[in-house]
């Protein structure tokens, strides 16, 4: 039994058709579930809020992935902690010669158009500019893209659609419909920037109320469709640390998608290819 409001209310509308005939047009809308929104002004405030709210809360920056998932009832957090008002997360510092630090709240558009990244970290700029559409790149952040929720064709659907197939292992079900005989979930990440950051030997900084830790981007991931990240629920990804650009002679990124339409990439077939001098 669904315990939340129907995510797809139907609105009837009478409209004049050809020859003056009237017809009813049904408009289906996906609605967000109720939630409380918190807006910290600093990383410290955000970590404290996250610690206080615990499992009830989720983090949101651009919201280009989380909000659609909430509309589809893949997530229904009672509390959202917004990171958009934290200036420190939007900072870009350092130099290509010494290495650069990119705040997790920097938008994909900013990275794609930044002269230093276009010249010295070309694969990252290309990856950032290849995500979805200009509107979503204007809102989406590098941190959010890196921690994109895993998905598959069976999971990335509306509540109504998933209910009709008795759900799947990743959410509310017991069987992975990608591989019904498998004991695990095979949902995968489709983050365009992740392969490049791994190949660049980049690091991420994770912070919580107890302190912080820095780890290679490659260690942020694990082969688990349901719990794909080694980041703890009380940790915030604050920045991405890039190595000095002089270590690299060339960078190329190849992105494979089923067509030229707006689709998620196949990350296992995408790679950034920097070559050491």
Q: What is the DSSP string of 33-68?
A: PP-EEE--SSHHHHHHHHHHHGGGEEEESS-TTHHH
Read off the pLDDT of each residue in 146-175 and give the average, rounded to a whole number.
Answer: 95
Q: What pLDDT was estimated at residue 18? A: 39
Q: What is the largest CA-CA distance in the chain?
A: 73
Q: Is 18 helix (H, G, I), strand (E, B) or coil?
A: helix
All residues at 6 or more sequence positions from 161 whose CB lies less than 8 Å from its CB, including other chains: none
pLDDT higher than 60, residue 269: no
Read off the pLDDT of each residue in 88-94 and give the average, rounded to a whole number.
Answer: 97
All residues at 6 or more sequence positions from 163 whose CB lies less than 8 Å from its CB, including other chains: none
CA angle 177, 183, 184 (to 5 degrees): 70
Q: Is 54 left (phi over 0), alpha (psi -120 to 50) or beta?
A: left
Whole-angstrom distance, CA of residue 87 vs CA of residue 103: 9
Q: Beta partners for 103? A: 239
Q: What pLDDT was estimated at residue 201? A: 94
pLDDT higher than 70, residue 261: no
Whole-angstrom distance, CA of residue 79 vs CA of residue 219: 28
Per-residue pLDDT tens over the stretch 48-71: 999 999 999 999 999 999 999 999
Give the strand pairing for 79-82 and 36-38. Answer: parallel
Whole-angstrom distance, CA of residue 38 vs CA of residue 35: 10
Q: Which residue has the tokens 């990856």?
A: 127
Measuring CA to CA, how many Å separate 265 from each of 38, 73, 127, 188, 259? 32, 23, 11, 10, 10
Q: What pLDDT was estimated at residue 29? A: 77
Q: What pLDDT was estimated at residue 242? A: 97
Each domain of the chain, given as residue ranges in start order, spans 87-151+188-276
Whole-angstrom distance, CA of residue 130 vs CA of residue 136: 11
Read off the pLDDT of each residue in 179-195 and give the average, rounded to a whole number.
Answer: 94
Read off the pLDDT of each residue in 181-200 and give the average, rounded to a whole number.
Answer: 94
Q: What pLDDT was estimated at residue 270? A: 42
First to last CA, the chain: 60
Q: What pLDDT was estimated at residue 262? A: 52
CATH number of 87-151+188-276: 3.30.465.10
């Amino acid at each position: 039994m669904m315990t939340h409001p129907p995510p797809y209310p139907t609105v009837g509308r009478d409209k004049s058709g050809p020859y003056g005939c009237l017809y009813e047009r049904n408009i289906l809308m996906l609605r967000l579930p109720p939630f409380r929104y918190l807006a910290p002004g600093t990383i410290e405030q955000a970590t404290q809020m996250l610690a206080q709210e615990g499992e009830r809360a989720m983090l949101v920056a651009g919201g280009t992935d989380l909000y659609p998932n909430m509309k589809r009832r893949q997530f229904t957090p009672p509390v959202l902690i917004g990171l958009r008002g934290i200036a420190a997360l939007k900072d870009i510092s350092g130099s290509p010669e010494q290495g650069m630090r990119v705040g997790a709240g920097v938008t994909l558009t900013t990275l794609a158009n930044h002269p230093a990244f276009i010249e010295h970290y070309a694969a990252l700029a290309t990856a950032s500019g290849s995500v979805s559409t200009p509107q979503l790149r204007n809102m989406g952040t590098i941190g959010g893209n890196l921690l994109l929720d895993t998905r598959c064709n069976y999971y990335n659907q509306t509540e109504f659609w998933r209910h009709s197939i008795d759900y799947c292992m990743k959410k509310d079900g017991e069987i992975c419909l990608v591989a019904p005989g498998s004991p695990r979930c095979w949902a995968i990440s489709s983050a365009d920037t992740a392969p490049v950051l791994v190949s660049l030997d980049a690091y991420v900084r994770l912070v919580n109320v107890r302190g912080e830790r820095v780890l290679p981007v490659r260690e942020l991931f694990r082969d688990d469709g349901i719990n794909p990240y080694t980041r703890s629920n009380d940790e915030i990804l604050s920045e991405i640390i890039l190595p000095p650009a002089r270590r690299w002679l060339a960078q190329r990124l190849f992105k494979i998608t089923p067509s030229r339409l707006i689709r998620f990439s196949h990350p296992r077939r995408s790679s950034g290819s920097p070559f050491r001098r």
